Amino acid sequence: MQEQIFTATRRVPQFREMSWLKLKRAVLVSADAEGGTKLNAFDNALLKAGIGNANLVKLSSVVPPDIEWLSEPPSFPLGSVIFAVLSHIESDAHGKKISAAVGVGLCGSTEGGLIYEFSGECDGEEAMETVKRMVEEGFAVRNWKLSELKIAVAEHSVEKNGCALAGVVFFP
């Protein structure tokens, strides 16, 4: 058996030596759906949004610089790993109105920005106004200038098991 010994003097790679995945494209998505269970409603909303046949990796809320914004998700092979910031809510309360929204604030066309998510038992207008305020606050505390705001929202009136979903999906 071969032993590997690591000591405190082990060299730690510097950032310039590390390989980073560069995300180059993004798309806003939103959908609502019903399903036999709340999980099926979520899955059906993912399918309706065009991202249901992918393995989603959750991201935090920073938009990298130089993103190309797409109008719809590109095609990708079944089971692809794609990166997303998602907001979603599921409910089995008949007649309940649920909504999910994401707000994207950009510093400039090439400088990046921030994403905020919200979901709740409310209408789409309230969800949209909430993420707008969240983006504005995030920019204010960083002393950044907000040059563009993008919002995706989904609203759903629950019949049996419902889901509202909104997100930002990134692609290499």
Specify the residue for token string 């098991």: 161
Specify the residue for token string 């040059």: 147
CA angle 116, 121, 123 (to 5 degrees): 80
The pLDDT of residue 82 is: 95
pLDDT in tens, 109-142: 678 999 999 999 999 999 999 999 999 999 999 9
Give a yes or no: residue 15 inside a domain: no
Query: How far is 107 from 110, CA to CA, in rounded Å?
Result: 8
In the three-class reduction of DSSP (H, G, I as helix; E, B as strand; rest coil), residue 71 is classed as coil
Q: Considering 3, 19, 60, 71, which one is annotated as catalytic?
A: 60
Query: How far is 64 from 69, CA to CA, in rounded Å?
Result: 12
**Catalytic site includes residue 61:** yes
In the three-class reduction of DSSP (H, G, I as helix; E, B as strand; rest coil), residue 112 is classed as strand
The pLDDT of residue 113 is: 96
The pLDDT of residue 21 is: 82
Q: What is the CA radius of gyration of the chain?
A: 19
Domain span including residue 116:
23-71+79-171
Tell me which residue of 123, 114, 112, 103 sits closest to 166, measured CA to CA. Answer: 103
The pLDDT of residue 162 is: 98
The pLDDT of residue 114 is: 97
Whether 108 shows a pLDDT value over 90: the answer reads no
Give a yes or no: residue 8 inside a domain: no
CATH at 29: 3.50.20.10
What is the identity of the amino acid at 75?
Answer: S
pLDDT in tens, 34-46: 999 999 999 999 9
**Catalytic site includes residue 117:** yes
Position 12 confidence tier, pLDDT thresholds 50, 70, 90: low
pTM value > 0.75 = yes
Please state, for a pLDDT cut of 70, what percent of the chain lies above it. Answer: 88
What is the identity of the amino acid at 50?
Answer: G
Q: Considering 55, 71, 75, 143, which one is annotated as catalytic?
A: 55
In the three-class reduction of DSSP (H, G, I as helix; E, B as strand; rest coil), residue 145 is classed as coil
- Structural domain count, the chain: 1
Q: Considering 30, 44, 61, 161, which one is annotated as catalytic?
A: 61
pLDDT in tens, 53-98: 999 999 999 999 999 999 999 999 999 999 999 999 999 999 999 9
Q: Considering 44, 117, 119, 161, which one is annotated as catalytic?
A: 117
Give a yes or no: residue 62 inside a domain: yes
